[in-house]
Amino acid sequence: MSSAPEPPPRPDPAPAASSRDTAGSVWRLFSPGLLPATLMLGGGVTLFAVETYVTATVAPSIVRDIGGLDLFAWLTTLYVAAAVLGAQFVALRPRTLGLRGVYTVGALVFSAGSLVCAAAPAMPVVLLGRAVQGLGAGMLSGLAYAFIRHVYPEPLWRKASTLYAAIWGVATFLGPTAGGLFAGGANWRYAFSILVPPALLMAASAGRLLPRVADERQDARPPLAQISLLLAAVLLVSAAGTDGRADLKTGMLAGSLALFAAMLGLERRAATRLLPHGATRLGQPIARLYLVMFGLIITVSSDVYIPYFLQTLHGVAPLTSGYLVALVALGWTLTAFFTGTLRGRGAVLAISAGCTLEAGATLALAPLLGDETAWGGWMAMAPAVLAILAMGGGVGLCWAHLVAGVLRWAGDAEQDKASAAIATVQSLGGALGAALSGVIANGAGLVDPGGLAGAQAAAHWLFLLMAAPGATAFFVSLVPERAVSPSTPRKAPTEREK
């Protein structure tokens, strides 16, 4: 696959860094000058990550308490679909609202959604709260990437991405612990309430602890048509997952693909774009980077059903099942730390190896989780534990290099758009992955005939089929070295690239 012409140099968008900076560790992010912003950006990611594992742990308890098993996948789908809107708001915010203001709004919206979930009398109200939560979480996640180039010198961009992975690793313990403590009966409501005080504190602190940055955007008009088509495609897939009629399910899936294709076609011709220039053309390196991200996140999002299968088929307690699914993020963190400093050819190999590891681990979960053997101890569950850990570890091998590659290839005026698109691709992949998981699980018999036989079939087919996007990402990842780590940063798209 041929690469685009080498981009011309541009001025460094971050403060100048010495060679000592390049070799610095991730702990430089906590130096006195960077500490306040690091705490705020890390706090936003922490809210997103901890809430993810709190919900994953208490979701089976919600279903047992107020029903709604057929809507199970929507708990994740609506959350991440709304996060797409939140991430885009970072790039498309009004000119009068700076990044610090977006942070405050995001934290307040997240708090409101958490309170709705805590007070919900039925599953549809929980889903409403999840959508509001997702909107706020998307803003906070998008801001984490948008602020990277304003806060840190360029040699620290990969390390900042590694820090975010480390936060997800910490969340693997905090989230399931919080969720497991409140998993009994109706106590799951308190699992949502505990996130409100820190979110309100962060909203109050944003104006003082985050730097004021200039607005470099050339165009802040919202690409409403593309966003609408994108969300409609995701929601249509989710609806297909809850409908039992095969002909209607097939029609919804076909309609979703058509909407997604229409969005890409419109994006190529539109004057106001959702994505950076070149992101819809596979001949451009930035498009391939985003596509690898997309495939990885779709596959890893099948973990939404892991706690349910662990509890239903293998007799695992809610707290333990929460910790086990959290191993996905722990694996992400560990591999990110070991490979986050690779460059050039090493970064390319890490991406390809990560795609392979994730796809293989997901495939291995099909036989490991797709039986009804009660696990009597850690030795019995060790193979599944390793597969779950490797599932996230594959993403960790890739993510920092993909993020750094996108930020290097985006033009100066499109940095906010490129940063928001990272969060959008992550949220969209999560929404589509959860929706496809619902389609596969329900289609395989999770609800009808249900019971142990239905759960077994659902687990088998879910992980067997959801390994495919990760495998596809591997083939897309076979790109020239300079596509991932160009020797000189990009200045602006050429007329040919547009």
- Model confidence at 107, in pLDDT bands (50, 70, 90)? very high
| Assigned domain for 435 exists | yes
| Assigned domain for 10 exists | no
Helix ranges, 195-305 (H): 196-209, 224-242, 246-269, 285-300
pLDDT of residue 384: 92
pLDDT at 15 over 50: no
Which segment of 107-116, 324-333, 390-399 scores lowest on mean pLDDT? 324-333
| Assigned domain for 372 exists | yes
| Assigned domain for 11 exists | no
Longest Cα separation, the chain: 63
451: alpha, beta or left? (left if phi > 0; alpha if psi -120 to 50): left
Q: Mean pLDDT throughout 55-67?
A: 86
| Assigned domain for 3 exists | no
The fraction of the chain above a pLDDT of 90, given in percent, is: 22
pLDDT of residue 381: 84
pLDDT of residue 182: 81
pLDDT at 454 over 60: yes
Give per-residue pLDDT as tens, 258-272. 998 898 889 888 877
User: Considering only CA atoms, which of 389, 390, 384 is closest in space to residue 316?
Assistant: 384
| Assigned domain for 490 exists | no
User: Considering only CA atoms, which of 367, 430, 351, 360 is closest in space to residue 389?
Assistant: 360
Residues 6+ apart with CB under 8 A from 327: 172, 385, 388, 389, 392
pLDDT of residue 324: 86
CATH number of the domain that residue 68 is part of: 1.20.1250.20
pLDDT of residue 123: 93
Q: Which of 401-415, 416-430, 465-479 is the most confident on average?
A: 465-479
> pTM, whole model, 2 decimals?
0.70
Give per-residue pLDDT as tens, 300-346. 988 888 988 998 888 888 778 877 887 887 888 888 878 877 777 88
| Assigned domain for 16 exists | no
pLDDT at 220 over 60: no
Specify the number of domains making up the chain. Answer: 1
The fraction of the chain above a pLDDT of 70, given in percent, is: 84
Classify burial at 409, counting beta carbons within 10 Å of its beta carbon; exposed 0-12, middle 13-18, buried 19 or more: buried
Q: Which residue did the predictor score with more confidence, 46 or 157?
A: 46
* Summary mean pLDDT of the chain: 80
Q: Which domain holds residue 372?
A: 31-210+221-484
Classify burial at 278, counting beta carbons within 10 Å of its beta carbon; exposed 0-12, middle 13-18, buried 19 or more: buried
pLDDT at 9 over 60: no
Give per-residue pLDDT as tens, 355-377. 999 999 999 999 999 887 777 77
| Assigned domain for 497 exists | no
pLDDT of residue 17: 36
Token pair, residue 196, equals 């409100």
Q: Which residue did the predictor score with more confidence, 2 or 267?
A: 267
